[in-house]
Structure 1
Amino acid sequence: MITHFQFKPLFENKEMPGWHFSFYFKKQKYTGIYHPNGEIEWTSSIPPGESADALKAQIHELMLFHVYDK
């Protein structure tokens, strides 16, 4: 389960899409960049293989809810 999920715009000009995000998973902090096309670029260590796909899906859902569903 993801905890302490946070995001902020990648650029000062908030009209330009892209977001930095961070969260904790199993007491490990992960960070990355969420691109407008849904691609995730990890800027920290990559989550373990068995968890990576599930975490990507959760991040995508959170970003859709917080950024696109306004």
Structure 2
Amino acid sequence: MITHFQWKPLFKDKNLPGWRISFYFKQQSFQGIYHKNGEIEWTGAQPPSEDEASVKSMIHELMLFHVYE
């Protein structure tokens, strides 16, 4: 489960797509860039490979809820 999920635009012009994301998963902090095409570019540690698909799915759902309401 993802906790403490945060996002903010990459650019001051909020019309440009791209968001900085951060969250905790299994008590470890993760950060990345969420691109407009749904690709996630990790800027630090990556989630374990066995959990990465489910983490990406949870992030997509959160971004749909928060950004693309």
TM-score range normalised by the length of the shorter chain: over 0.9
Secondary structure of 2:67's counterpart equals helix
Deviations 1:5-52 (A, max 9, x none): 000001011010100000001110000000000000000111001100
* Partners of 1:58 and 1:27 in 2: CA distance: 16
* Partners of 1:68 and 1:11 in 2: CA distance: 17
Give the TM-score normalised by structure 1.
Answer: 0.96
Q: Which residue of 1 aligns with 2:28?
A: 28
Secondary structure of 2:61's counterpart equals helix
Q: Which residue of 1 aligns with 2:37?
A: 37
Identity of paired residues, percent? 65
Q: After TM superposition, what 4+ stretches of structure 1 lie above 6 angstroms from structure 2?
A: none
Give the TM-score normalised by structure 2.
Answer: 0.97
Aligned length in residues: 69
* Partners of 1:38 and 1:60 in 2: CA distance: 7
Aligned partner of 2:66: which letter? H
Runs of at least 5 residues in structure 2 that lack an aligned partner in the other structure:
none
Runs of at least 5 residues in structure 1 that lack an aligned partner in the other structure:
none
Secondary structure of 1:45's counterpart equals coil
